[in-house]
Amino acid sequence: MISDNGVQFISDVMQQITYCFGITTPFIPLYHAESNPIERKSRELKTQLAILVQDHHSEWDHHLSSIRFAINSTCCDSTGYSPSFLTFGREIRAPYDPVYDLRKDF
């Protein structure tokens, strides 16, 4: 369980619980957001939102579903698979996929 150095994770109670259950808890280095996978995804999300929104800042929420689909279906360099493949064991399909290739359903 990778966690940051928040007080809820480094407290004595949490350390005793993880020890009792045999859970190892490596902590990310202080002020080093690149080592936290959640922070990296947040950085990607911010970049893609900035590109799509441009000057229309009140419409940012309309782009979240397409950005989420792009992040979940893009292959990762380190694993060679997309997050959706690692989670579900198959690639997710876009809404237009069945229209153009019905053979995927059989």
Find out whether 98 and 105 touch, Cβ atoms under 8 Å: yes
Q: Which amino acid is at 80?
A: G
* Section 34-51 average pLDDT: 79
* pTM above threshold 0.75: no
Structure confidence at residue 78 as a pLDDT band (50, 70, 90):
confident
Best CA proximity match to 84, nearest among 73, 94, 96, 95: 73
Q: Hey, where are the domains in the chain? A: 1-31, 36-105
pLDDT in the model for residue 100: 59
Find out whether 2 and 28 touch, Cβ atoms under 8 Å: yes
Structure confidence at residue 102 as a pLDDT band (50, 70, 90):
low
Structure confidence at residue 99 as a pLDDT band (50, 70, 90):
low
Best CA proximity match to 60, nearest among 44, 43, 46: 46
